[in-house]
Amino acid sequence: MPLSWFQMAVQLFVTCLVDSFFPEVGEATVDVLESAGETVEFPADQTCCGQPAYNVGLRDDARKMAAHTLDVLDATDGPIVLPSGSCTDMIVHHIPELMAGDPRRAAQAERVAGRTRELSQFLVDDLGLETVGPGCGDCSVAYHPSCHGLRNLNLRTQAESLLDHTEGVQRVELPDAENCCGFGGLFSVEMPEVSVAMMETKLKNVEASGAAILVGGDVSCLMHLGGGLHRNDSAVTVKHFAEILAGRLDNAHDD
Amino acid sequence: MERKEFLGRVRQAMSTADLPLRSEVAPGALLGDLRIDNLLDRFVERATDVNCAVKVIEATDALDHVISIMREYGADEYLGWADSQMPIPGIGAGLIANGFSPRPFEVPSEDRLHHQSAYYDLVVGVTGADGGLAESGSMVLIHGVNRSRMASLIPEVHVALLPASMIVESLSHWAASRPESLTASVNLVVITGPSRTGDIEMHLTQGVHGPRHVHVLVLKDR
Amino acid sequence: MTIEPVTFLGRVKRDRESGVVIPVSEAARRMSAYRVAASVDFPLMEEMRDRAREVRLHTLANLDKYLAQFASQVEANGGQVHWAADGDEANAIIRQIADDNDVRTVVKSKSMVTEEIDLNESLEAAGLSIVETDLGEFIVQLSGDKPSHIIAPVLHKTRYDIGELFAAKLDRGFSTDPAELTQMAREHLRREFLTADMGISGCNMAIADTGTVVLVTNEGNGRLTTTAPRIHVTVMGMERIVPTFGDASAVLEVLARAGTGQRLSVYTNFVSGSRRHGDPDGPDAFHVVILDNGRSRTLGGQEAEILACIRCGACLNICPVYREVGGHAYGFTYPGPIGAVVTPSLKGLDEWHELPYASTLCGACVEACPVRIDIPKMLLTLRSRAATDGHLPGWLTFAIGRYATAATHPRQFRLLLKAGGVVGSMMARDGWISKAPSHGANWTGARDLPQPAKQPFHARWKARHGA
């Protein structure tokens, strides 16, 4: 990658779920990138990468959304960073597959995929940072590695290492950490019985870990797990790792 | 369905099959470095791992060992390979001389049920082994004339005599170096420990249909 | 083999309520741990997986050639080859063999493919006595149940269940000791083995250049079935071929490690025909029934790679869905991730369109699969066809369509988020929605939903940076 690429502003693709449900995670992501010395730009016309449609098999709808996403992102330069492993996986792997039949779109998809990074991947693998930002002070956390980042982007250590190098953060082991939490996109509402059963298995392990905060890198899984913890009256809360790094623990959700 | 029609359907399907890239020739066995310093030591370790009782002995002591195993189980009869098929001569003759009696191993087609029913409560089977696989602690038995399949299968106890010189690294090494062993007879079996099951609550139990105990007598090289 | 009730979620509900899922889940976890330990122990594991994958894919790409070679070789060895387009044809062929040879009693070693075609029912209807001899399958047969795992069929039963079953059916007294129960089965079944007229086995793989059938078992039932009866019939799915002994070895080196964590299963049995002149024992006749039953359709489509499966069960064991729902939920012979692809692919999506959706696409199966089959990719192609064929619920198709329209019109999208914030704030208390209307209730049945932000990120960014 040419050096100049890193000198360009970072294009933040915030994901539709962060935009609508977790804007505070988007703000924490901006904080973290700025602490890392990056200039952040936000392509205003971004919407959804198309993953929900793709995963249920509605490929025409997915292709429409993906094409829009490509148009928005391809009009920019520099690294594209997402606070989500799953949406990064969609842009890096699945959009190119979806566009394989259209040479112009395929080329565009390849260009965009080549520039796209998940947040922890960008900080650790591209920028070579140990950690960033002020951190949240003393807190005990367990980390749940979401599946698409873990297996499809091979994010096996990046976020954990950022947390481990952040002062005050005590990371405890989460038993069976790599076991899926049961969110699965629309699976969570198409097969709620199974989704919730998987969630309860995960939450048992979260409670057993003794952590006060369950940290992840995908707000989708965190929404599912956090919703379960809240329903169960648990004292454990959920946070995106960007919020931990940025020290935004009392991030107001609905202001 | 006729063969031609069946294969035609397969061919038709192959023309639209969505398969990832593949090699043009059959790749064959993979013979990599298994980090084995000593074949015999590794065989003994791994066969013991799978609950075989393994002893490395002088060939001249083999008969005594077989006899002592038979006495351990209170057996006075055995089903065995013919003497001519054992890795060393004289085992069958020696057993007879010591008062043990061989069960007939020939199961004639016309009187199959009668002969096989006599195997119902067999205690000991005595066979040779044509190879050992160090990495998995397995034995290779090639069946055929005078080599009863039942001898290593139906009794409670299987005693096998394996010359140390016949131990190779692994199944892959055997397959690569001894391809003719498959066509030499209609049955070859690779045995890795006593018969076992985990079907009931994953509780490991030995001796389901095959032998509950496998004794391997490894015969040292001269 | 199909399992009632008819819906996936119906079966899930039944099996979770009855508790049969719990031991299955526990066993699956243990088998996964054994697989991992065995992989670490074997210095060539990763290379061997690549090699085994190459063997399987090479074979599928040349399947007609290897099938023809295998069949000719079996015939050259004195065996008979039969070609069956579907289960009915296979069953009719086997009934005919039984009839021609005056067969009354049959022993069977464990075989998925014969379950796929309901062979037992077919033979019983023809008046034959048929006995399953794998301990697990024997228990399944005695209790009139169905297997819940491809290599350990009765994980869903406890030792007490089995003790009561044996006491009632074998007339041998009651025990809950697995060793004693196994001994009862041993004594009962060896009588069956030694007197049966015909042995029917499946086939883990078949070697094309020697005409050899390879059977892998731990108990010895595979060997007895192919040795004691006077007739041996192997039923094999047409994809079970490998070219040579060397190729077979690569697959065998990963099969048991991935399945049970053993280096090799106890008995790897290579059968190349009936007894030759002078052989002391073995069957007098050898038949191979090669079965299509939907496989050529699978081969011709987007899920062709699934035919590379070596039936080890690793994907079931690791699957977080399987661990919560057990094997019966999948409704057919092949459970777990492999079943979610194989069943709709063999039998069509009309009846089986739910199965590709019974997954979170977490990818644990690909990681565990010894031949690295990309199961999630195939679940996605199946989902795409299911959606095209109109199998998705109308509300979902509608909702996604509307969302896609909004997402390609940024102003509309921003309005949608804003509206979501407003509606959300009316439904929420203290930032959480605990009872959502309509299909939202599928979420809030057991989870709270965070309130959508009144100020989405778009708006916040604009407020902070202008533009």
Q: In 3D, which of C305, C227, C272 has the Cα closest to residue C70?
A: C272
Q: Inspect the interface and report whether the beta carbons of A201 and C396 lie closer than 8 Å.
A: no
Q: Does residue C358 belong to any structural domain of this protein?
A: no
Q: Does residue B66 belong to any structural domain of this protein?
A: yes
Q: In 3D, which of C299, C300, C301, C309 has the Cα closest to residue C337?
A: C309
Q: Does residue B209 belong to any structural domain of this protein?
A: yes
Please tell me the predicted confidence (pLDDT) of residue A191: 96
Q: Does residue B18 belong to any structural domain of this protein?
A: no
Please tell me the predicted confidence (pLDDT) of residue A1: 54
Q: Does residue C330 belong to any structural domain of this protein?
A: no
The band of A187, judged by pLDDT with boundaries at 50, 70 and 90, is: very high
CATH number at residue C273: 3.40.50.10420
Domain boundary among C252, C278, C295: C295
Distance from chain centroid for Cα C15: 18
Which structural domains are found in chain A, ordered by start?
3-126 (1.20.1050), 139-246 (3.40.50)
What tokens appear for B43 in the block? 């065989």
The band of A133, judged by pLDDT with boundaries at 50, 70 and 90, is: confident
The band of B24, judged by pLDDT with boundaries at 50, 70 and 90, is: confident
Mean pLDDT of the C274-280 span: 96
Domain range for B124: 36-196+204-219
Name the residue in chain B with its Cα closest to that of C245.
Answer: B175
Q: CB of C134 within 8 Å of any CB in chain B?
A: yes
Of the candidates A19, A151, A228, which has its C-beta nearest C456's C-beta? A19
**Tally of structural domains, chain B:** 1
Same domain, C99 and C240: yes
The share of chain B scoring above pLDDT 70, in percent, equals: 100
Q: Chains A, B in contact: 3+ Cβ pairs under 8 A?
A: no
Q: Residue C19, by phi and psi: left (phi above 0), alpha (psi -120 to 50) or beta?
A: left
A45, A47, A220: which to substitute to probe chain C, counting the most C Cβ within 10 Å?
A47
Domain boundary among C264, C295, C326: C295
What residues of chain C lie within 8 A of the CB of B199, using their CB?
134-136, 139, 152-154
3-state secondary structure of C232: strand
Same domain, C269 and C139: yes
Q: In 3D, which of A188, A212, B152 has the Cα closest to residue C266?
A: B152
Q: Inspect the interface and report whether the beta carbons of B196 and C219 lie closer than 8 Å.
A: yes
Please tell me the predicted confidence (pLDDT) of residue A203: 98
Q: List all chains that touch chain A, counting a touch as 3 or more CB pairs closer than 8 Å.
A: C
Same domain, C52 and C196: yes
Same domain, C130 and C277: yes
Domain range for C444: 394-465
B142, B150, B197: which to substitute to probe chain C, counting the most C Cβ within 10 Å?
B197
The band of B222, judged by pLDDT with boundaries at 50, 70 and 90, is: confident
What tokens appear for A191 in the block? 């097969």
Q: Which residue has the tokens 């062993």?
A: B181
**Tally of structural domains, chain C:** 2
Whether the predicted interface score ipTM is above 0.95: yes
Classify burial at C446, counting beta carbons within 10 Å of its beta carbon; exposed 0-12, middle 13-18, buried 19 or more.
Answer: middle
Q: CB of A62 within 8 Å of any CB in chain C?
A: yes
C448, C457, C458: which to substitute to probe chain A, counting the most A Cβ within 10 Å?
C457
CATH number at residue B74: 3.40.50.10420
Q: Inspect the interface and report whether the beta carbons of B26 and C243 lie closer than 8 Å.
A: yes
What residues of chain A lie within 8 A of the CB of C461, using their CB?
26, 42, 44
Q: CB of A33 within 8 Å of any CB in chain C?
A: no
Name the residue in chain C with its Cα closest to that of B82.
Answer: C280
Tell me: cis bond preceding C5? Omega within 30 of 0 counts. yes
Amino acid at A184: G
Q: CB of A231 within 8 Å of any CB in chain C?
A: yes
Rounded to whole angstroms, how far apart are CA atoms B1 and A16?
55
What residues of chain B lie within 8 A of the CB of C153, using their CB?
199
Mean pLDDT of the C28-44 span: 96
The share of chain C scoring above pLDDT 90, in percent, equals: 92
Q: Inspect the interface and report whether the beta carbons of B172 and C189 lie closer than 8 Å.
A: no
Rounded to whole angstroms, how far apart are CA atoms B17 and C301?
5
- Which residues does residue B214 pair with via DSSP β-bridges, in sequence order? B158
Name the residue in chain C with its Cα closest to that of B210.
Answer: C220
pLDDT higher than threshold 70 for residue A252: no
Same domain, C16 and C165: yes
Domain boundary among C251, C275, C295: C295
Q: Inspect the interface and report whether the beta carbons of A147 and C363 lie closer than 8 Å.
A: yes
Same domain, C62 and C176: yes
What residues of chain C lie within 8 A of the CB of B120, using their CB?
190-191, 194
Q: Does residue C172 belong to any structural domain of this protein?
A: yes
